[in-house]
A and B are shown apart, each in its own frame.
Chain A
Amino acid sequence: MNAAGPPLIEFREAGFTYRRGEEGEIPAVKGVSLCIERGEFVAVVGSNGSGKSTLAKMMNALLVPTEGDVVVDGMSTADEAKVWDIRRMVGMVFQNPDNQLVSTTVEEEVAFGLENLGVPTDEMHRVIDRVLGEIGLGDLRRREPHNLSGGQKQRVAIAAVLAMQPECIVMDEATSMLDPRGRLDVMETVRHLCRDRNLAVVFITHFMEEAVEADRVVVFSDGTVATDGTPRNVFGDGIDLDAVGLDVPVVTALARGLVDRGFGLDPATTRLDELVEAVCQLRSRT
């Protein structure tokens, strides 16, 4: 993580109200202050209707706050002159893989954004080769996106964002429509982006098993940040997850159950390997 300079994304008491000033206005995000740093893997969890998708769209100026400010690398998302710089810097991958692919082949999909930027052809081919190789889509480059599996489509969407050399990828429930295989592949890709590329990833999900993999978990509830911390803090005992409509990860539920039965292990255990190790130790100690 690079601590120098301003945060990559900063919410300054930012809010967003749909139909503001009209009858039936809906305040979806309310006075949120939150920073996303470079290279960070942040999971945002919350129930349907908690405002987490609105929060996501505020990160790259798809929605401009109706109160407060959102600042990306020093640029306000309300500054229309900066919108394209902001969107290049913070890319988005959405929930439905069928709604975001526009081209007839995988490589054209990746080229789309580069063409719009006016990148010279030679350079463009180099970027496409690199990005497709990196995401493991090299063999599929001439395939039609709509014939791919859901997981492959989402990886094409990630590759297209990656070609723009962003600092951050925001994934808005990008795994929720995928089968288990597709979900694993996308998670693997996300891990690679964070660890090997030092990209910031904001990962919006309601699968707690995915959230425990992040460096940091932000629990969003009723338009505000209910809690913000490491997975251990958040899932351990930081908050009543049931009250905000979320599950405890299975590993944590098992650890808590064993603690309740009088066994000495950490009730905040979130990772499977930690739980296995704790149980093995308990067993050898007796």
Chain B
Amino acid sequence: MPIALENVTYVYAPDTPWEQEALSGVSVEVQDGDFLGIVGPTGSGKSTLIQHMNGLLLPTHGRVLVDGEEVGKDRKALRALRRKVGMVFQYPEHQLFEETVEADIAFGPKNLGLDSDEIAERVRWAVTSVGLPDDILERSPFELSGGQMRRVAIAGVLAMRGTVLILDEPTSGLDPRGRAGLVEQLKRLNRAGITMIMVSHSMEDMAQLVNRIVVLSEGKVVIDDSKRAVFSRLEDLANLSLDVPRVTNVMLEMRRAGLPVPLDVLTVNEGIEALCQVLRGSDIVEE
């Protein structure tokens, strides 16, 4: 179910003193199976952009096509769209409210009017998909760790059986173990065929998860390229006060100290390889 934003402009509070253009002529395409990352400074329009992808916001100008259909033409189709394109907001665990994990995950499917067997099956599938054990279903969501609560909240969106999942800062506030666990599950969901779109300030998340990155600044797309290509544009990213992955930053400092290391290094293992080459390479030259 491809998603295409065509020349989308969105204006908050039009014709008032607070009028503000949050997106200006944005075009972005998401193909089936993509894992798209969206980055940009605070206030660059990231949240506004993702809310166009499941019809929570409709463009002021331009159009959004999901599976070839223009979003918003048929108001009744919006509900179906929001089912297919799931949205996990920032700190989704703040929205947990039921007495048990099971009831929380079942909340959405129940509202769809599904029969109880189907609901039970979806709940079990969703909880497994986020890597939680079955026996957690009986527990209260409020006695779980932060990482577990986050996963329960994501399971609730998955239980709607959408084909696209949008995540806003999914690892924010998690400790290293909780983050690593969630990153693995997100990778797995994407491999299982769910199209993923992720907004994050964490360039570590981007380095590990996405295949393509869209960089937003002041409501415009300023870069749209493969992850590796984006992270090699260090100057552009710095000008937007965006980070690069920590290991990429190490390579940049090595380069500044005169070492001929590559800059498109995204993982610790690649970093070790690159440094070994520089050190061994110099052996050969000197000997």
Contact = CB atoms under 8 A, between A and B. Distances in A.
Given A149-B42, A254-B275, A261-B276, A280 B257 contact: yes
Q: Binding site of B, secondary structure by majority: helix, strand, loop or mixed?
A: helix
A102 interface: no
B172 interface: yes
Nearest to A254: B271
A283 B261 CA distance: 12
B250 A250 contact: yes
B47 interface: no
A254 B42 CA distance: 31
A74 interface: no
B41 A250 contact: no
A233 interface: no
Interface stretch (A32-40, A126-134, A164-172, A173-181): A173-181
Interface residues of B, number: 36
B201 A180 contact: yes
B42 A47 contact: no
A282 B249 CA distance: 20
A276 B257 contact: yes
Given A49-B145, A257-B272, A275 B250 contact: yes
B56 interface: no
A236 B253 CA distance: 21
Nearest to A149: B42
B286 interface: yes
A180 B175 CA distance: 16
Interface string A253-280: 1100110010100000000110111011
B268 interface: yes
Contacts of A47: 175-178
A259 to B, nearest CB: 10
Nearest to A150: B42
Contacts of A206: 175-176
Contact of B177 (A179, A246, A280): A246
A260 to B, nearest CB: 8
Given A48-B147, A176-B173, A246-B175, A263 B250 contact: no
A180 B249 CA distance: 13
Interface string A37-61: 0000000001111000000000000
B172 A176 contact: yes
Nearest to A207: B176
A245 interface: yes
A114 interface: no
Nearest to A24: B143
B246 interface: yes
Interface in B157-196: 172-178
B253 to A, nearest CB: 5
Contacts of A261: 272, 276
A67 interface: no
B146 interface: yes
Interface in B32-87: 41-42
A286 B178 contact: no
A192 B287 CA distance: 48
Nearest to B172: A177
B170 to A, nearest CB: 14
A280 B271 contact: no
Given A48-B146, A254-B275, A257-B268, A280 B258 contact: yes
A257 B283 contact: no
B234 interface: no
Given A48-B146, A250-B250, A279-B259, 11 more contacts: A47-B176, A48-B147, A95-B173, A176-B172, A176-B173, A245-B178, A247-B176, A254-B268, A272-B253, A275-B250, A279-B254
Which 9 residue pairs across A and B have the least CB separation, nearest first? Answer: A257-B272, A245-B177, A247-B176, A250-B246, A206-B175, A180-B243, A47-B175, A48-B146, A48-B175
Interface of B: 41-42, 145-147, 172-178, 201, 241-243, 246-247, 249-250, 253-254, 257-259, 268-269, 271-272, 275-276, 278-279, 282-283, 286
